[in-house]
Structure 1
Amino acid sequence: MVPGDERVDELLPESTASWTREGRGEDDQTLEENWLFRMRRERFRSRTSGRVHGFYVMHLADAVNVVALTPDRQLVLVRQFRAGSARDSLETPGGLLEAGEKALEAGPRELLEETGYAGDAPLLLGTVWSNPSIMTSRSTTIVVPNVRRVAEPRLDPYEELVVELVPARAIPEMIRDGRIDHSLVVGGLLWWLWSEAGAAPGA
């Protein structure tokens, strides 16, 4: 089973959606399947017009991003190559959830594996859809306070990361000038900055 497939029913609340799945999916088609994702063409019918249309849907596991903060208020970031942009990207540590895993479990695991850092109990900031136009994946941002280097990173064979410590006060400027430009990372960091400022919802 491709990660994320077990959540299909939850991801498609047809009782509230303006488009509903056409039939029982017998005309849907898997176009590509590998260890990471399943790409499918799935047919839906509009409740308004009755038209049927095939949508491309990538079934991908949920992800977690970790805002890891040291006692002297530096963020632990990682710089790594991203094939989509064909360049290196400065990001918060993170990765995909394993089957049955929760974000608050996956986040500290990914942080330790990628950077060798660990800290206090993680705190949940929130969850967003990664790209709901085409992906089933959601992305959760958590905060791990008081992190310290406790081990050597344990990277996958094709994973090449450089760990960078950045003062927390520098993050807003780094977002503004584009040094941090991964959309999900930016969203998570803005969420964290908002929480740091103690802003109430709607403020």
Structure 2
Amino acid sequence: MSDPDQPVTQAPAQDAHLREETIESSQVYKGHFIELRRDRVRLPDGREAPREYVVHPGAVMIVAMLPDGKLVMERQYRYPVRQTMIEFPAGKLDAGEGGLACAQRELWEETGYKAKRWAKAGIMHPVIGYATEIIEIWFADELTLGERHLDEGEFLDVFTASLDELEGWVRDGKLTDVKTIVGMMWLAKYRAGQWPLQWASVG
């Protein structure tokens, strides 16, 4: 995990007039995998202001593609929003775990699928106003299905859907998960030949 007192990336020199500098940082809460911090920062005009944010270990999301073009999807109840959400498979990074290893583990544990080919598409910052979370976007194909191994206390349904179906659910407000919507956009660009991926065989 990165030092919470330091930004994840350094702002370019031309953005110096926008930067906020940390004066002090304190831990408010430390949970099972997230941490809440309260900082005091110096604004570009010299004044001071408070900042509260969640430190998150990072996560991965997997766009897993079947030979018929359909996608491996999940339905899972998300307690903070009190809704069952439609999502691509995803999960948080364990300490010291790389993105690919996490993507392979999460896909297998949650869905039972293993993939022979993987490609990292990019990253996203889903909640930049109050969390450090970064989600790596991974694509997987040449899938084989086995037995899934859910974590204790984890309950979810696995199903398949086409990109057209997902887009219709977004339009109708049935699919609102932002990481899944970003993954859909990336998939559409990939299939249109606009955003190529660098595939690698694994295992």
**Normalised-by-shorter TM-score class:** 0.7 to 0.9
**1:104 matches 2:100:** yes
Supply the distance in 2 between the matched residues of 1:46 and 1:168 (Cα, whole angstroms). Answer: 44
Once the 2 structures are TM-superposed, how far is the Cα of residue 141 of structure 1 from its aligned partner? 1.1
Supply the distance in 2 between the matched residues of 1:8 and 1:106 (Cα, whole angstroms). Answer: 26
Summarize deviations over 1:150-180 as a string: whole Å, max 9, x none: 2x21111111010011134423222222232
- Gaps in structure 2 of 5+ consecutive residues: 197-203
Supply the distance in 1 between the matched residues of 2:4 and 2:61 (Cα, whole angstroms). Answer: 20
Supply the distance in 2 between the matched residues of 1:116 and 1:6 (Cα, whole angstroms). Answer: 35
Tell me if structure 1 keeps the 8 A contact 2:2–2:8.
Answer: no
How many percent of aligned residue pairs carry the same amino acid? 26
One of 168, 172, 179 as aligned partner of 1:173: 168
Once the 2 structures are TM-superposed, how far is the Cα of residue 12 of structure 1 from its aligned partner? 5.6
In the alignment of these two chains, the number of paired residues is 192
Moved over 6 A (4+): none
Change (3 A) 1:185 1:141: same
Correspondence list, 1:118-157, <5 A: 118-150=114-146, 152-157=147-152
**1:20 matches 2:21:** yes
Tell me if structure 2 keeps the 8 A contact 1:70–1:148.
Answer: no
Tell me if structure 2 keeps the 8 A contact 1:118–1:149.
Answer: yes
- RMSD of the TM alignment (CA)? 2.0
Tell me if structure 2 keeps the 8 A contact 1:38–1:60.
Answer: yes
What TM-score does the superposition give when structure 1 sets the normalisation length? 0.86
Supply the distance in 2 between the matched residues of 1:180 and 1:138 (Cα, whole angstroms). Answer: 21
What TM-score does the superposition give when structure 2 sets the normalisation length? 0.86
What is residue 192 of structure 2 aligned with on the other side? 197
Supply the distance in 1 between the matched residues of 2:47 and 2:66 (Cα, whole angstroms). Answer: 54
What is residue 183 of structure 1 aligned with on the other side? 178
